[in-house]
Structure 1
Amino acid sequence: MSSRITLILAGLFLLGAVIAGYWGLVLGKQPAPEAPAPVPAIQPVTQAVNTAQDELRKPVVVLRRDVVANLPLTTDDLAVERLLVAPAGSFQTIEEVAGRTPWRDLPAGTWLEETSFEAGGPLARMIQPGERALTLAVDEVSGASGQIRPGDYVDVLVYLKEETDNPLASAQVVVPALRLLSVGQQMGLANDGKPAEPVEVDPKAREEKRRTLPRTVVVAVPEALSSRLMLAAQAGNLRLAVRSAEEKLLARYWADPKATNTTLANANRELYRFSQLAMAQPAAPVQSTPAPRRAMEIIRGTQSSEQSH
């Protein structure tokens, strides 16, 4: 009995060995996994491109932090940035700038040039010789519903209402073609074509400043007309009439001295004096008629006669 069990177990072990051997042969015939494709060496190429760009960059001196006016700059205030395009007139080394005194407050990140150290505020750098910057009060109606922008050209009109000294209401253009230098807190461009003040970096703050309804505007007025505009502002209500941007000659409306004299003469010819805007003729003076002289009466006895002087 025991020998029979032994034979059965031996047969089972033999069968298992045959199956295991067969399975090993099948697995050994499967193809080997393919090797991963080699990754191209991109990093050396990128480094080469960055190196070439760095060689093309130009050094530009900028402010590392905010600085205030009338204080000399130190090396701690300055830094050198390498830019692909260097702004015209910028400085390349810190030694060129250290020790110089700016005339106005400058924020961090501002690149420096000669105008950074020249006297004059934003408005003074926006007007031409012979012009004056004059501030006018505006509201939603007189200021074109807040749709005007620095650089626009406007005609200034004055309205005089009917009063005792002005029997007939009237309106007229006081000064034509004035350039807007600023509208509220928005400043325009300086004479060199660059922003008169640093551009607000935060887009939300820039949009909020644009949406705020302006209460004042600053216009560039020819010197000969500044007193007239001041008189008009005190005499009546002013309103701004925006001129078309297609009038390409507006920028030279008052620029040419010869044309300025002609334009000024035409403006004076078309403008009535403020006391005569109603075009009412002054009353003729009353002339008093002298009383007739009385004749002298002469009496001779019973007869009398009159004799004039």
Structure 2
Amino acid sequence: MNSRVTLGLAGLFLVGAIFAGYWGLTLSRQPTAAPLAPAESATSAAPQQTIAVEDPTRHPVVVLLRDVAPFEHITAADVALEKLAIVPAGSLTRLDQAVGRTTWRALTAGSWLNEESFEAGSKLARMIRPDERALAVAVDEVINAGGQLTPGDYVDVLLFLRMDANNPQPSAQLVIPALRVLGVGDQLGLTNDGQPASPARSAEDPIKQEQSRTSARTVLLAVPEALLSRLMLATQAGVLRLAVRSADEKRLSRYWAGEAAAPANLASANRELIQFNQLAMTSPPKPVATGIAAPRKSSVEVIRGNEITQQTP
């Protein structure tokens, strides 16, 4: 009886072992889903690729890639297009507008190019308009408004005439009002394209710049062409003073806006200035003699302010 039970249990275990082995073999032969993961990731990554779209708010500007010396031809390797949100006024927007052209002055790398980059003339010549002239006036610390003048200020030119043999009465008067200061010593303002005419200074230079401005011996003035000879005559006739005008007049902003002040300055100067013969300290022109002889009478010269008259007693 025990032997039969033992044989039955052995057979049962054998059947269970065979079933377990078959089940394990079946599971090992089933395909795995793991290799599908890279394909799925590649498929999902494909739609994420984006195409670069140009920003419509940025516009091309021609910029120099290297320093260019005067009278040097611009080549295609010297320039590139940069996309800027704010385009400088008058700047070139295509490479063919610059390639092959010759510069008249030195240009630094990183500068944007415009038509003025290829025009002749110094920085001082590009600080004035066609109807203006740049004239240097000798100054000292007193004439130079205590050494406080800076480029961009507006000044009135005053003249003091001392009393001497040719000028019986001293006088002080306004020669030309509202002249723009272009430079003080070696310090210049802005050119007509808005670029600084003087080279950029380091952070250690403000003290030297202040000393140079205080000790300047020349001041550059933008003089209307019609008033140029008048200012030259005044510089030789007496002592000049430069009186600074208030910045609240907004003359500089109106100048950059294109307003012309020469006609107004000329009219004001004509009203307030004494006659040229008096400014030159010469006698008034004598009347032309006629064919009829007139009896000579002694006369007395009478001076009333800026007027000189001849009166017969």
TM-score class, shorter: 0.5 to 0.7
Task: Give, in angstroms, the shift of residue 145 of structure 1.
Answer: 2.0
TM-score between both structures, scaled by the size of structure 2: 0.61
Q: What residue number does 1:266 align with?
A: 271
Which is further off, 102-111 or 151-160?
Answer: 102-111
**Alpha carbons 1:150, 1:180 under 8 Å: kept:** yes
Q: What residue number does 1:91 align with?
A: 92
Higher-Rg member (1/2): 1
Aligned CA distance change for structure 1 residues 208 and 53 (closer, same or farther; 3 Å): farther
Task: Give, in angstroms, the shift of residue 229 of structure 1.
Answer: 0.7
SS at match of 1:246: helix
Residue deviations 1:102-125, cap 9 Å, x none? Answer: 222222322111221123332333
Residue deviations 1:55-82, cap 9 Å, x none? Answer: 9765433233332322222344334445
Task: Give, in angstroms, the shift of residue 241 of structure 1.
Answer: 0.4
Partners of 2:181 and 2:262 in 1: CA distance: 20
Structure 2 matches for 1:153-164, cutoff 5 A? 153-164=154-165
Question: How many residues of Structure 1 are paired with residues of Structure 2 in the alignment?
Answer: 235
SS at match of 1:158: strand
Partners of 2:225 and 2:271 in 1: CA distance: 16
Structure 2 matches for 1:214-293, cutoff 5 A? 214-248=216-250, 251=254, 255=260, 259=264, 262-268=267-273, 273-274=278-279, 275=281
- Aligned-partner residue type, residue 232 of structure 1: A
Partners of 1:55 and 1:198 in 2: CA distance: 36
Structure 2 matches for 1:132-171, cutoff 5 A? 132-171=133-172
Task: Give, in angstroms, the shift of residue 150 of structure 1.
Answer: 1.4
SS at match of 2:126: coil
Partners of 2:266 and 2:137 in 1: CA distance: 25
Identity of aligned residues (%): 48
- Aligned-partner residue type, residue 268 of structure 2: T
**Alpha carbons 1:57, 1:82 under 8 Å: kept:** yes
Q: What residue number does 1:204 align with?
A: 204
Q: What residue number does 1:114 align with?
A: 115
**Alpha carbons 2:58, 2:84 under 8 Å: kept:** yes
Which is further off, 79-88 or 235-244?
Answer: 79-88
Aligned CA distance change for structure 1 residues 139 and 257 (closer, same or farther; 3 Å): closer
**Alpha carbons 2:73, 2:102 under 8 Å: kept:** yes
Partners of 1:229 and 1:256 in 2: CA distance: 16
**Alpha carbons 1:126, 1:196 under 8 Å: kept:** no
Task: Give, in angstroms, the shift of residue 227 of structure 1.
Answer: 0.8
Partners of 1:60 and 1:211 in 2: CA distance: 39
Which is further off, 166-175 or 211-220?
Answer: 166-175
Task: Give, in angstroms, the shift of residue 258 of structure 1.
Answer: 6.0
* Contiguous gaps of at least 5 residues in structure 1: 1-50, 286-309
- Aligned-partner residue type, residue 244 of structure 1: S
- Aligned-partner residue type, residue 224 of structure 1: A
What root-mean-square deviation, in Å, do the aligned CA atoms of Structure 1 and Structure 2 show? 3.8
Q: What residue number does 1:47 align with?
A: none
Aligned CA distance change for structure 1 residues 93 and 56 (closer, same or farther; 3 Å): same
Residue deviations 1:148-184, cap 9 Å, x none? Answer: 1112110111223343333443322111111112222
SS at match of 1:233: helix
Aligned CA distance change for structure 1 residues 132 and 234 (closer, same or farther; 3 Å): same
Partners of 1:70 and 1:159 in 2: CA distance: 47
Aligned CA distance change for structure 1 residues 95 and 59 (closer, same or farther; 3 Å): same
SS at match of 1:203: coil
SS at match of 2:176: strand
Q: What residue number does 1:296 align with?
A: none
* Contiguous gaps of at least 5 residues in structure 2: 1-51, 283-302
Which portions of structure 1, spanning 4 or more consecutive aligned residues, are displaced by more than 6 angstroms? 51-56, 282-285
Which is further off, 263-272 or 213-222?
Answer: 263-272
- Aligned-partner residue type, residue 166 of structure 2: D
Partners of 1:200 and 1:280 in 2: CA distance: 52
- Aligned-partner residue type, residue 217 of structure 1: V
Partners of 1:155 and 1:256 in 2: CA distance: 13
Give yes or no for the alignment of 1:173 onto 2:174: yes
SS at match of 2:73: coil
**Alpha carbons 2:188, 2:198 under 8 Å: kept:** no
